[in-house]
Amino acid sequence: MRKQVVRAKKVQKVMLNWIESQRFQDIVKFYSDKNLLDHLAMFKVNLTNNEAMVEHLGCMRNLKNIISSGYNSYEELLNKILGRLDLLSERDEVRLFFDRRILMHRFTQGQYNDEIEFICLINTVFRWIHCDYLLVDDKEDGCTYAYIFVFDMSDYIKAQEGKEDTLKNELDSLTSLPNRVFYSSVAPMILGENMKKGKTTKFIHFDVENFKEYNEKYGAKQGDELLKYLAEALDEVFPESLVAHFAQDHFIVVSSEYNIIDKIDIIYHCVALYSDSEKLEVKAGIYEAKEDIDVIIASDRAKIACDSIKGRYREKYRFFDNELVEIVNKQKYIVDNIDSAIANKHLVVFYQPVFSAKTGKLSGFEALSRWVDPVYGNLSPADYIGILEEYRLIHKLDKFMVSAICENLANLKEEGVKLVPISVNLSRLDFELGDMVSYIDKVVQKHKIDKNLIKMEITESVLMENPDDLKFQIEKFQTRGYEVWMDDFGCGYSSFNVLKDFDFNMLKIDMLFMKDFDTNPKTKKILKAIVNMAETLGIGTLAEGVETKEQFDFLKKIGCNHAQGYLFGKPAPFDEKLIEFVKENIDNKEKTKKSKRLSNNHRTVGRKSIKKNKSSKNTKLLGNHNNINPDELCINV
Ligand code: C2E
Ligand code: MG
Ligand code: MG
């Protein structure tokens, strides 16, 4: 009897340590109107005989089924429980904490109690678990016992953070992996724990190289299957790490495992084997954190390392290194300086001429941005477009472009120079970050520019994201009297599908067709087919990247309407030279042949209006063409 009292006192001691803590007091207060016992479980384990029994301290809701289904030994019970918990990190540590032999060993070393906290997934819900144990020996039967106290304090933790009851909103619905929200709250804890132990935390960003093409080629459903497959592979290959799904084909793993390169290799081969018909490659970028860092910055650095090897065949991974630090600094500079670059005129509009295939004369310009920076010198769109999109600042550039183009056109008009249409590149995000249609309308009206002089270029990838909204936005532009052109046609898998679903006024044929014009005999046939098809649909055609006379002659022969490329001129700033270029290259005959003007420069429009004028909707859609100011549209000296 006395021994039992002593043992009970020891059990109480560990409980008291915990109970006396401020944290426990807060927890009890928190759970006072809830069922505290639903969140608790206590096991008494005979470590010597490998037996376990549940003591009468309550039983955690989530463990009830496992415990009541029966078990033959403590180890079997433990395996069942651990098998049900999807441990996100520290899997080894949790196992070792509960291991019977290790508990026995600790007892012999005089370590009678300890505690551990970890996060796990139970039935796709994240739970925050706190465990203590107390080891005692029973002189009567000569056995050593462990009292294991388990407490599920997730509701408390979540309430502390002002979040919802469960963590369901932190799971990605497609892959069931933690999402960015969960990553943001858990990764700092993993990093903190590792730092305490002097371990390096690796942030590994995974990205399927050709996922977009795969998605476009095989459809979103197949794309989703690939993502689920990759999610499972990552979860299996990195069992002791946090695996999260951020967006599309972007996954992040937070790991303190040592053999990550081998594991990246396994993932690479898993993905390569996924499809028989498609060469799929997954790339990894690794950022190693030894010190405290914002986990979003850590994941960004891993992504930057990953992006830096895009397109490099068979290069599977890259560590974030000093060279990439430079790139990051440059990107940060771009984000921090976009406003001042616009205000200080470091951002400028360059104009690249477009020539009519029929007349061989200038028929317009494409406006391309250039950043002439006092620190970095000349920056090309490749340096800043992506990063501005990533930071959702691209609308600032594009709004500036429209406004600068209109200003240039207004100046030319004032000087009596005949105007030609100018196309401007719009980003997918322009449609999300405000009402671009209304903005352009306002600027165009302010400068009293004819709507026919501003053409909107959008790329196919824009259409993939949110097709219904885009369709609406395109129609809105057209209803208000602007043409919408499809840029880089033919570089994606779904180009032809897109034509079925959207009404474009012009196809800009991607310059990749010009790249292998001489070497690939099929290219010419494909070009011919595209031009024929566009003609049948009443859409104009403009070939990009035309560099040789042979290419231009061929385009003329197959009936392509316009051409743009170094053969006619490289993008150039708005200056006297450019104005001279306009004057020299415009079509003087246009002046007299008013009726032909429309069909040369705006063949599509002319054809389309004849076809569609029957319906009132289309008359409205193309109404602006009836209001064309011939003096502005035609180019003459
Ligand atoms: P894009 O709209 O397809 O523009 C054509 C690109 O091809 C331009 O590159 C142009 O300089 C280049 N190019 C033109 N002719 C030839 C040629 O004969 N041979 C070769 N090799 N290249 C030629 P750039 O200016 O570097 O622009 C790249 C892309 O950046 C553009 O592709 C466009 O998508 C985007 N971009 C440029 N300025 C802006 C902007 O202000 N806003 C947005 N949202 N995107 C822009
Ligand atoms: Mg373009
Ligand atoms: Mg293009």
Q: Which domain holds residue 579?
A: 342-633
- 328 domain-assigned: no
Q: What is the pLDDT of residue 34?
A: 60
- 480 domain-assigned: yes
Find out whether the beta carbon of 385 lies less than 6 Å from any atom of ligand 1. yes
Task: State the CATH number of the domain containing residue 593.
Answer: 3.20.20.450
pLDDT in tens, 56-85: 455 555 566 566 666 778 888 787 777 766
Find out whether the beta carbon of 369 lies less than 6 Å from any atom of ligand 1. yes
Cβ-Cβ contacts under 8 Å for 571 (sequence gap 6 or more): 350, 351, 352, 366, 368, 370
Percent of the chain with pLDDT over 90: 44
Q: What is the pLDDT of residue 251?
A: 95
Ligand nearest to the CA of 396: 1
Find out whether the beta carbon of 380 lies less than 6 Å from any atom of ligand 1. yes
Find out whether the beta carbon of 510 lies less than 6 Å from any atom of ligand 1. no
Find out whether the beta carbon of 425 lies less than 6 Å from any atom of ligand 1. yes
Q: What is the pLDDT of residue 206?
A: 96
Q: Does one domain contain both 65 and 148?
A: yes
Q: Over 50: is that where the pLDDT of 227 sits? A: yes
Distance 142 CA to ligand 3 centre (A): 82
Q: Does one domain contain both 156 and 7?
A: yes
Q: Does one domain contain both 522 and 562?
A: yes
Percent of the chain with pLDDT over 70: 78
The DSSP code for 369 is E
Q: Does one domain contain both 182 and 85?
A: no
Q: What is the pLDDT of residue 402?
A: 97
Mutate-to-test residue for ligand 1 from 342, 347, 352, 368, highest number of ligand atoms within 8 A of CB: 368
- 106 domain-assigned: yes
Find out whether the beta carbon of 389 lies less than 6 Å from any atom of ligand 1. no
Q: What is the pLDDT of residue 258?
A: 84
pLDDT in tens, 446-478: 999 999 999 999 987 666 666 777 888 899 999
Distance in angstroms (rounded) separating the CA atoms of residues 287 and 294: 12
Distance 594 CA to ligand 1 centre (A): 32
Q: Over 80: is that where the pLDDT of 505 sits? A: yes
Q: Over 70: is that where the pLDDT of 632 sits? A: no
Q: Over 60: is that where the pLDDT of 628 sits? A: no
Q: Does one domain contain both 295 and 429?
A: no
Among residues 320, 351, 380, the one where a domain terminates is 320
**Which is more confident, 600 or 555?**
555
Greatest pairwise CA separation for the chain in angstroms: 118
Q: For residue 544, how many other CB atoms are within 10 A of its CB?
A: 22
Label each residue of 221-234 as H, E or C. HHHHHHHHHHHHHH
Q: How far is CA 593 from CA 438, 468, 581, 589, 636, in A?
A: 34, 41, 22, 6, 11
Distance 565 CA to ligand 2 centre (A): 12
Q: What is the pLDDT of residue 284?
A: 97
- 325 domain-assigned: no
Find out whether the beta carbon of 386 lies less than 6 Å from any atom of ligand 1. no
Q: Over 90: is that where the pLDDT of 373 sits? A: yes
Q: What is the pLDDT of residue 215?
A: 85
Distance 538 CA to ligand 2 centre (A): 21
Please tell me the total count of domains within the chain. Answer: 3
Q: Does one domain contain both 394 and 312?
A: no
Q: Does one domain contain both 260 and 392?
A: no
Q: Of all atoms in ligand 1, which is nearest to the CA of residue 426? A: 44
Among residues 320, 352, 385, the one where a domain terminates is 320
Q: Over 50: is that where the pLDDT of 629 sits? A: no
Residues facing 373 on adjacent strands: 377
Q: Of all atoms in ligand 1, which is nearest to the CA of residue 368? A: 38
pLDDT in tens, 564-598: 999 999 999 999 999 999 999 988 765 434 433 33
Distance 415 CA to ligand 3 centre (A): 31
Cβ-Cβ contacts under 8 Å for 141 (sequence gap 6 or more): none
Q: Does one domain contain both 191 and 85?
A: no
Sign, CA dihedral 254-260-263-264, equals positive
Ligand nearest to the CA of 352: 1
pLDDT in tens, 375-427: 999 999 999 999 999 888 999 999 999 999 999 999 999 988 889 999 999 99
Q: What is the pLDDT of residue 599?
A: 33
